[in-house]
Structure 1
Amino acid sequence: MKWEKILVRYGELSTKGKNRKQFISHLRNNIRFSFVDLPNIKIQAERDRMFLTSTDDSEIEALITRLPKIFGIQSFSPVASCSKEMDDIQATALQIMDSLDSQDKTFRVTVKRSDKFFPLDTYELQSVVASNVLRQYPSLKVQMKKPEIDLRIEVLNDAVYMMAQVIPGAGGMPLGSNGRSLLMLSGGIDSPVAGYMLLKRGVRLDAIHFHSPPFTSERSKEKVMDLANQLSHFGATVRLHVIPFTDIQQSIQAQIPENVSMTTTRRLMMKIADLVREEIGALGIVTGESLGQVASQTLESLTAINAVTSTPIFRPLISMDKLDIIDIAREIGTYETSILPYEDCCTIFTPSCPKTKPKLEKVEYYESFKDFDELITEAVQNREVLSFPMKKANDFSNLL
């Protein structure tokens, strides 16, 4: 089937008032970023919808395949066009039906006739096209309210446009419409899902990861790099800040009682994250914590961790069950990477009996015997920053 254009329907953008143009502009820019490899695509943004066109059929097919990952789109439809001759209209309608699974489906034809000089009125055109389709597809059942297939025909001055397929979009808000935050990316199942959920609300992300060689391997770092790269596929560059954390963790093990060492580890991670956040101009910190899932995620533990910063901390998974989180991880494609058996620094240094209800004043008392500030500053200054998706290196081997 040859498609003329793609009709994009906005999601929550349609509820925006005076800021609507700003949100539409973000969506247009995100589409351009995501399809930079398709040079012939043109974007026409209107108040309530957007049209994507290309002279290259393969680019239209690429749009249909990849648009479902772009946030801010409620749904989209491939659109075919034809002349205003009835034979062409009938043939195009059948071609569109051929591209669909129409067996035993409910069906209707919807007509919008903007060209008032077209010889048939709305109901006549609707009847003629529907009758022809029903003759060719006898298993279809006419249903005027909420049919499974709605063949939509719009008669304009230049041509007739038709569509029947409504493909769900990712929903949410366009990336960049709600600022930037810093994601604490551990390498497990939860944190990439938390990042995805903030991306869906229009928040651009940097990510921060704590790496403790030789206790954590280079493979564990590569695993996190893969996750950051996967998150970048949703329409925006993701910068990954890799923090050298070995010296800090060894100091914690030497100074802090074992049963509260995990709480102190999380607190120092949060301090470091807050410094990086401030440096990059992000407005919040994102974590994959789910209430009660592990000892460091009880209300008492989270209270002690929160005490080191006044920055907003977003925990989009806080009330979710683990199985629900796994379902989303599978859906967005991060699950198989997350379960690779390469441990992060928290896993390796997990105490045998961690406190589930640490008292803040005791944690602060234990930490007072060691000045961590110099180690924290050094870790921030010595961090490695990677950008995803990574640009492919030019291959000059054929010149040698």
Structure 2
Amino acid sequence: MMAAFLLRYGEIALKGQNQGVFLETLTRNVARAIEDLGPCDVRATFGRVHVTVAADTAAAIERLRKVFGVVSLSPIREVGLDRTAITTAAVAMAEEATGRRPEIATFKVATRRADKRFPLTSMETSSEVGRAIRERLPQLAARMRDPDLLLQIELRDRAYLATETIPGPGGLPYGTGGRVLALISGGIDSPVAAWYAARRGAVITAVHFHSFPFTSERAKEKVVDLCRALVEYTGPLELWVVHFTEVQRAIQQQVPDAFRVLVMRRMMMRICDRLAPRLGVQALVTGESLGQVASQTLESLAAINAATRLPVLRPLIGADKTEIMARASAIGTYGISIRPFDDCCSLFVPSHPRTQPALDEVDRAEAALAVDRLVEGALASSDVLRISRQGIAPAAVTAAAGGAAKGSSTAGGE
């Protein structure tokens, strides 16, 4: 069974001389999203991306609606630029739609004529097709605003007809926005922040700080499952599992209670800072939202930033919790995030955290830590996993600063 679609993009159309780079990346990402479903053809044409794939329509939609850069998509029927063929196809599609949805009482035909050689204008085409639908289905009334059935016709190299528009994630094609390290704790916020960064084209490498036995193996499994949910949008990604137990133990023993979470965040920044050059990473991504908890005040965020030379991107900085939860539900991470397995930060929340710390206070609080030794030890004991739709495998990497991460297979594309 061959399914056909038109994909619409938005922001890419505003690009200048490099628009071709964005379109090439988008078409490549679309092809990768569906290539395992069956033979496919993907091409950019007349301001759209045209897709055919030998696959079930519903299965293809589930993949295509998650491709960053796609604003919306429609399953289509194609015919030649012939008035009779267009009208016949349109009437047949209207009949099929009313068969599936008997409650349809109103309709509208909307035509876009990209190929100006077609003899009728857009309005004339809509009127001609609308009259034929009314003759075949007299129970339907034309309605220009909020119709029950919207039949869209695009006149391009061929005529493309659709009765359904499915929203996509929008944004920019994945792979056009540089590389970032996304800190994934296992909570609700961090995977949503990673999703937003990927939506702007940034390639994600995930980092999780694991503190066994303070946190369980099931906490790590939760993070792996969160990455598997993100892979549905990004394609394959790497997850660095940094063993953080010794760092956390040292903080517990040597840092005053009020500063422990803040110093933990600073140590995470330092570890990522050391890892970034190895991976060609240009920024860090975190799930912090201004004022949500004590470590997310402006003063705390400034102290955290001071521990890294890299920009720290915070896509959720102005979002409230209900907005973040809604997005998590929409992208499939919420149900995973609420599993009852604590991450390393949640286990050592002080009863009276310092909410407006001065940088010199924080420096004094962590002065007893052997920072370099702890950072190197954490990196040396890291595991690296490659996560894709096909499964999970260790990923071989070159030696990290201060030691070699463990793994056994080459990381890369599908």
Q: TM-score, with normalisation over the residues of structure 2?
A: 0.86
- 1:235 Cα deviation (Å)? 3.0
* CA gap 1:367/1:61 in 2 versus in 1, 3 angstroms: closer
- More relative contact order, 1 or 2 (CA 8 Å, 6+ apart): 1
The 5 A counterparts of 1:170-319 are 170-319=169-318
Counterpart residue type for residue 205 of structure 1 = I
1:324 is the counterpart of 2:337? no
Match of 1:131 in 2: 131
- 1:60 Cα deviation (Å)? 4.2
* CA gap 1:295/1:154 in 2 versus in 1, 3 angstroms: closer
Counterpart residue type for residue 33 of structure 2 = S
% of aligned pairs identical?
39
Is the Cα contact below 8 Å between 1:113 and 1:154 reproduced in 2?
Answer: yes
1:68 is the counterpart of 2:65? yes
How far does the alpha carbon of each residue in 1:199-244 deviate from its partner, in whole angstroms, 9 at most, with x for none? 1111110011111111110000000000011111103222110011
How far does the alpha carbon of each residue in 1:166-217 deviate from its partner, in whole angstroms, 9 at most, with x for none? 2222110000111111111000000011011111111110011111111110
Is the Cα contact below 8 Å between 1:108 and 1:143 reproduced in 2?
Answer: no
Is the Cα contact below 8 Å between 1:173 and 1:202 reproduced in 2?
Answer: yes
Work out the CA distance in 2 between the residues paired with 1:217 and 1:368. 29
- 1:384 Cα deviation (Å)? 0.4
Which runs of no fewer than 5 residues in structure 2 stay unpaired? Answer: 394-414
Work out the CA distance in 1 between the residues paired with 2:192 and 2:172. 17
Work out the CA distance in 1 between the residues paired with 2:271 and 2:221. 21
CA RMSD of aligned residues (A): 2.7
Work out the CA distance in 2 between the residues paired with 1:123 and 1:344. 59
1:110 is the counterpart of 2:107? no
* CA gap 1:47/1:290 in 2 versus in 1, 3 angstroms: same
How far does the alpha carbon of each residue in 1:73-120 deviate from its partner, in whole angstroms, 9 at most, with x for none? 1222222134677765444212211343572334135374959697x8
* CA gap 1:121/1:371 in 2 versus in 1, 3 angstroms: closer
Match of 2:344 in 1: 345
* CA gap 1:18/1:47 in 2 versus in 1, 3 angstroms: farther
Work out the CA distance in 2 between the residues paired with 1:117 and 1:21. 27
SS of match in other structure, 1:181: strand
Which runs of no fewer than 5 residues in structure 1 stay unpaired? Answer: 395-400
Match of 1:79 in 2: 76
How far does the alpha carbon of each residue in 1:316-336 deviate from its partner, in whole angstroms, 9 at most, with x for none? 111111111111111111001
Work out the CA distance in 1 between the residues paired with 2:332 and 2:297. 28
How far does the alpha carbon of each residue in 1:247-294 deviate from its partner, in whole angstroms, 9 at most, with x for none? 111111111111111111111111111112222111100000011111
Work out the CA distance in 2 between the residues paired with 1:122 and 1:4. 26
Work out the CA distance in 1 between the residues paired with 2:259 and 2:156. 70
Count matched residues. 389
SS of match in other structure, 2:377: helix
- 1:393 Cα deviation (Å)? 8.7
Work out the CA distance in 2 between the residues paired with 1:389 and 1:374. 33
Is the Cα contact below 8 Å between 1:24 and 1:45 reproduced in 2?
Answer: yes
1:372 is the counterpart of 2:371? yes
* CA gap 1:296/1:175 in 2 versus in 1, 3 angstroms: same
Counterpart residue type for residue 65 of structure 1 = E
How far does the alpha carbon of each residue in 1:324-366 deviate from its partner, in whole angstroms, 9 at most, with x for none? 1111111111001000000111111222221111221122123
Work out the CA distance in 2 between the residues paired with 1:357 and 1:149. 56
* CA gap 1:242/1:156 in 2 versus in 1, 3 angstroms: closer
Is the Cα contact below 8 Å between 1:204 and 1:236 reproduced in 2?
Answer: no
How far does the alpha carbon of each residue in 1:124-170 deviate from its partner, in whole angstroms, 9 at most, with x for none? 7544432221133345443457866443445678x654233322221
Counterpart residue type for residue 258 of structure 1 = D
Work out the CA distance in 2 between the residues paired with 1:363 and 1:127. 71
Is the Cα contact below 8 Å between 1:73 and 1:171 reproduced in 2?
Answer: yes
Is the Cα contact below 8 Å between 1:80 and 1:162 reproduced in 2?
Answer: yes
77-86 or 287-296, which deviates more: 77-86
SS of match in other structure, 1:208: strand
Work out the CA distance in 2 between the residues paired with 1:323 and 1:153. 38
Work out the CA distance in 1 between the residues paired with 2:170 and 2:241. 31
Q: TM-score, with normalisation over the residues of structure 1?
A: 0.88
